[in-house]
């Protein structure tokens, strides 16, 4: 979920770069040249440095005085710590949350339906972004923008770790698990929602670890896959029943 920001501001540039990471369009270790970015965004190099400094502070870009700015390349230990942090944040949020509103349920349902469309179309960029953004949207649904911002950075870290390793099978499973969490929230069953979220995060981490171990050709396989622009605008609903109080 994006936030309106002043055109060409350093905050907007930082957001655009983060969104590209979540969409797996910027790989770990990618060099972020100041001059190239300044030309792309039509801003000064000073504004680019301000944007990149924001991302360094958030831990998703690194800088070397001699080599320049780079997207971080998380180690397995970095990934483990990021998933641990996500569990603390997301499970704690659900454990202490108040019941979610019907409007928030509607938004989350629509988000999951967009995830399903991206998975069905094999749109890797869209599915990666939406699957990660679901967790940010969930935090925002409970009215906690501070946690949402923090979670966006941790989700970006785990997405960079997962770059090109998550299969469409694992993505479909994640989408289905998101749907289950939304149904539990709709029923005001926060205990079940917390358990489903715990299982989901464990499944995502385990699936990525397994993919890295068993498919060393995955990066090349993904890079050489046929391009597709087909999106199913009205995919079959992933939800078994309509939202309470929501008109069709």
CATH 1.10.357.10 corresponds to the domain 10-71 = no
**Range(s) within the chain of domains with CATH label 1.20.120.530:** 76-223
What one-character DSSP code corresponds to residue 64? E
pTM summary value: 0.78
Query: Residue 205: which residues within 8 A CB-CB, separation 6 or more?
Result: 79, 80, 83, 158
Q: What is the largest CA-CA distance in the chain?
A: 59
- Structure tokens, 119: 């998975």
What one-character DSSP code corresponds to residue 31? B
In this prediction, residue 140 carries a pLDDT of 93
In this prediction, residue 1 carries a pLDDT of 46
Query: Residue 209: which residues within 8 A CB-CB, separation 6 or more?
Result: none
**Range(s) within the chain of domains with CATH label 1.10.10.10:** 10-71
In this prediction, residue 238 carries a pLDDT of 66
In this prediction, residue 21 carries a pLDDT of 94
In this prediction, residue 198 carries a pLDDT of 97
Say how far apart CA 112 and CA 90 lie, in whole Å: 18
In this prediction, residue 99 carries a pLDDT of 87
Mean pLDDT, 10 residues at a time, the chain of 248 residues: 60 94 92 95 95 95 93 86 93 91 95 95 90 95 90 90 66 94 96 97 79 51 60 58 54
Say how far apart CA 121 and CA 224 lie, in whole Å: 16
- Structure tokens, 120: 């069905």
Say how far apart CA 237 and CA 47 lie, in whole Å: 43
CATH 1.20.120.530 corresponds to the domain 76-223 = yes
| Ramachandran assignment for 230, one of left (phi > 0), alpha (psi -120 to 50 degrees), beta (any other) | beta
């Amino acid at each position: 979920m994006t936030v309106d920001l002043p055109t060409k501001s350093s905050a907007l540039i930082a957001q655009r770069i983060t969104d590209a990471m979540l969409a797996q369009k910027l790989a770990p270790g990618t060099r972020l040249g100041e001059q190239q970015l300044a030309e792309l965004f039509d801003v000064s190099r000073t504004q680019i440095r301000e944007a990149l400094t924001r991302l360094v502070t958030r831990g998703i870009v690194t800088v070397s005085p001699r080599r320049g700015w780079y997207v971080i390349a998380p180690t397995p230990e970095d990934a483990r710590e990021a998933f641990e942090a996500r569990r603390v944040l997301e499970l704690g949020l659900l454990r202490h949350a108040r019941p979610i509103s019907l409007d928030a349920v509607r938004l989350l349902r629509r988000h999951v339906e967009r995830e399903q469309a991206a998975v069905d179309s094999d749109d890797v960029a869209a599915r990666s972004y939406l699957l990660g953004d679901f967790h940010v949207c969930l935090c925002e649904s409970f009215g906690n923008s501070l946690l949402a911002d923090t979670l966006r950075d941790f989700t970006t870290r785990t997405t960079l770790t997962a770059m090109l390793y998550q299969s469409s099978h694992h993505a479909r499973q994640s989408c289905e698990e998101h749907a289950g969490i939304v149904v539990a929230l709709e029923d005001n069953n926060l205990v079940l929602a917390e358990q489903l979220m715990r299982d989901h995060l464990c499944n995502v981490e385990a699936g990525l670890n397994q993919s890295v171990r068993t498919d060393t050709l995955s990066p090349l396989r993904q890079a050489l896959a046929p391009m597709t622009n087909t999106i199913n605008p009205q995919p079959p609903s992933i939800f078994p029943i309509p939202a309470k109080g929501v008109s069709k």
